[in-house]
Amino acid sequence: MVMEEMNHESAMVTPGEILGKSSELRPGRGAYAVAGGNDIYASLTGRRSILTPPPDSPDQRPIVEVTGHKAHGVVPEPGSTVIARVKRVMAKMASADIMCVGEKSVREKFSGIIRQQDVRATEIDKVDMHSSFRAGDIVRASVLSLGDARAYYLSTAKNELGVVSAESAAGATMIPISWTEMQCPSSGQVEQRKVAKV
Amino acid sequence: MATKRGGSASSTTYSPWSNQKTRRQKRLDLKDPDWVRADGRLFHQCRPAFFRTGAVSAAAGSAYAELGDTKVIVSVFGPRESKKAMLYSDVGRLNCNVSYTTFATSVREQGSGHKEYSSTLHKALEGAIILESFPKTTVDVFALVLESSGSDLPLVVSCASLALADAGIMMYDLVTAVCLSCHGPNLILDPLVEEESHQDGSLMVTYMPSRVEVTQLTITGEWSVTRIHEAMNLCISACSRLGEVMRSCLKEAAATTDDTNE
C-alpha cells in the first residue's frame, strides 16, 4: 500500500495537542480555545486541516479543524435533517425513532416527536395526524429543538420533508401520487400521507 | 481431593501460592532504606505500559491496557439517549462503572468490592470531557479489570480516557493517572499489590499532560506538605511520560485505519 505524503497541514493530532495560536487561527470543529489563553487545542483524534474563512465574515483568521478518523457518534442537533420511523400516531402528535442524522446512521436510536403544528406549514390547526402519518412510515424531518427529556422535537413543515416511504395495508411499498396521497401498486388503494417531494 | 496446607485457615478455596511464610519475612524489611522492590525496579520507576485501542468492536470506542501484570479493558458507549427517567440536562452526562472479574485477584472474589472506584473514575474523567458537545445524551464508560496486580485504578483512568478518545468524544485533553505509595521514608511509584497492602499512605494523581491540569488528587494516610509536593512532582512527571505513550498509541491506531480506508 502506497503511503501518501503527509504534509504538515494534515498531521495526526490527539486531544489536548496544541494546534496553533489563537491570534492567528480560529477554532473550528474538533478544536477549542481557552478563554484568556493563547493557544488552540484539539479536542478529537484526527487530521488537522486549515480552512479559509468565508469572505463576508468579519473575522478573517483561518479556521483550524480536526476531522475525526472515525465517525464520531452522531447526535441530533437543531437544524439537522434526520430520517425517522414513525412508532405511534396519536391525536395531537406522532412519535418516531430517529435512525439517521444527516447521512450517518446512529448506533442506537433516539426518540423524536412530531407535533400537530409542525406537520406542515399551512393550516396547521386543521391537521389530522392519521391522514399524515401511519405507524411504520419512514419520514424525513428536521430537528426543531432538543425538546424535553424524553424526545427531540421534529418538523416536517417543508416541501422536501415528510413521508419518504410507506407500506400500504396490503403490504406493498406505496407510490406517491400527490402532496397528500400515496397509492398501493398491487391493490390500487389510495392512502393519505404528508408526502415529501423527493 | 483436598490438599493439606499448614497454617492457612483463612481461605477455603484453592490458591496457587504456597510461599506465604517468605512473604511475611519480606514485610519486616520494608522500612529499611536499602530495601529492594520485589520485581527489582527502582523506587521511581514505573512498569512498562502497553495500550491498544479498538479492542471491542461492539462499542463506540474501546481500549485495552497493561501495566506489568495489571490488565484492564474499557468500552465506551455513546453518546446515546439518556434513560427516560432522567431529567433534561443542557450538558451531556457521564456514567462510569468499574467492575472486577472473579479471576482478577489471586483469591477468587465475588467482584462486588471496589464500588467506590466507579465514582472516582467519574470524578477523574468529568473534568476532561467537553460535556456541552453532546447535550441531553449520556456517555457510558464500562471498565473491566481482567487482572489486578497493583495500581489498578490509575490504569483504569488512563485506559478510559484512551477509550473515550477512540470513541470520538470531545475532550479537553487525555487523562493520565499514576499512583504512589509511601513506606516510611520511601516514596515508591506504581506499587504492586503486596506493596500497596502494607503502605503507610498513598497518593493518586490524575493529570492532563498537555493542559498541565490535575483533575483529581486522592490522598490516604498521614502526609506533611513537603512530602505531598515531592510526591506530586514525581507523579506528574510519570504522568507526562505515560501521556506520551498514550498519544503515540492513538496516532498509530489512527494512521492504521487511515491506511486501510485509503
For the sheet with A26-27, list strands across it: A12-13, A46-51, A63-68, A26-27
**Cβ-based contacts under 8 A for chains A and B:** 98
Nearest chain B CA: its distance from A51 CA (Å): 20
Q: Nearest residue on chain A to B138, judged by CA atoms?
A: A75
CB atoms A108 and B81 under 8 Å: yes
Nearest chain B CA: its distance from A179 CA (Å): 33
List the Cα angle A92/A88/A197 in 5-degree steps.
80
Please answer whether residues B176 and B161 qualify as being in contact, where contact means their C-beta atoms are separated by less than 8 angstroms.
yes
Nearest chain B CA: its distance from A32 CA (Å): 8
Question: What pLDDT score does B246 carry?
Answer: 94
Is A146 at the interface with chain B, CB within 8 A?
yes
Question: What pLDDT score does B96 carry?
Answer: 94
Question: What pLDDT score does B28 carry?
Answer: 47
Query: Which single residue is written with the C-alpha cell 485509503?
Result: B262
Please answer whether residues B42 and B36 qualify as being in contact, where contact means their C-beta atoms are separated by less than 8 angstroms.
no
- Long-range CB pairs of B30-37, under 8 A, 24+ apart, other chains included: B30/B183, B30/B184, B30/B195, B30/B198, B31/B183, B31/B184, B31/B185, B33/B185, B33/B186, B35/B183, B35/B186, B37/B188, B37/B192, B37/B195
Q: Which one is predicted more confidently, B115 or B203?
A: B203
Listed in sequence order, the residues at least 6 apart from A65 whose beta carbon sits closer than 8 Å to its beta carbon are: A28, A29, A30, A31, A48, A49, A50, A51
Is residue B33 scored above 90 in pLDDT? Answer: no
Question: What pLDDT score does B224 carry?
Answer: 92
CB atoms A14 and B79 under 8 Å: no
Is A149 at the interface with chain B, CB within 8 A?
yes
CB atoms A107 and B80 under 8 Å: yes
Write out chain A's pLDDT in tens, 198 residues. 333 334 444 678 999 999 988 888 888 888 999 888 889 999 999 888 888 888 887 778 888 988 876 656 788 889 999 999 999 999 999 999 999 998 888 888 899 999 999 999 988 889 999 999 999 999 999 999 998 888 999 999 999 999 999 998 888 999 999 989 999 999 999 999 999 987
pLDDT digits (tens, 9 = 90+) for B143-195: 999 999 988 999 999 999 999 999 989 999 999 999 999 988 889 999 998 88
Question: What pLDDT score does A41 carry?
Answer: 93
In this prediction the ipTM stands at: 0.81
- Which residues of B fall within a CB distance of 8 Å from A109? 81
Q: How many CA atoms lie within 13 A of B134 on its CB side?
A: 26
Residues A116 and A93: their CA atoms lie apart, in Å, by: 5
Dihedrals phi, psi of A110, to nearest 5 degrees: -110, 155
CB atoms B168 and A111 under 8 Å: no
- Which residues is B62 bridged to in the sheet? B75
- Cα–Cα nearest to B160, from B72, B32, B221, B223: B72
Cell of A118: 409542525
Question: What pLDDT score does A8 carry?
Answer: 43
Please answer whether residues A25 and A40 qualify as being in contact, where contact means their C-beta atoms are separated by less than 8 angstroms.
yes
Question: What pLDDT score does B145 carry?
Answer: 94
Is B210 at the interface with chain A, CB within 8 A?
yes
Question: What pLDDT score does A181 carry?
Answer: 92
Q: Which one is predicted more confidently, B198 or B109?
A: B198
Question: What pLDDT score does B3 carry?
Answer: 47
Is residue B79 scored above 60 in pLDDT? Answer: yes
Question: What pLDDT score does B129 carry?
Answer: 93
Question: What pLDDT score does A11 carry?
Answer: 77
- Which residues of B fall within a CB distance of 8 Å from A96? none
Residues B27 and B44: their CA atoms lie apart, in Å, by: 20
Is B57 at the interface with chain A, CB within 8 A?
no
Is residue B5 scored above 70 in pLDDT? Answer: no
Is B250 at the interface with chain A, CB within 8 A?
yes
pTM of the model: 0.84
- Which residues of B fall within a CB distance of 8 Å from A16? 171-174, 208-211
Please answer whether residues A76 and A105 qualify as being in contact, where contact means their C-beta atoms are separated by less than 8 angstroms.
no
Is residue B202 scored above 70 in pLDDT? Answer: yes
Q: Nearest residue on chain A to B60, judged by CA atoms?
A: A73
Torsion over CA of B99, B102, B107 and B113, rounded to 10 degrees?
30
Is A78 at the interface with chain B, CB within 8 A?
no
Nearest chain B CA: its distance from A114 CA (Å): 18
End-to-end Cα separation, chain B, in angstroms: 60
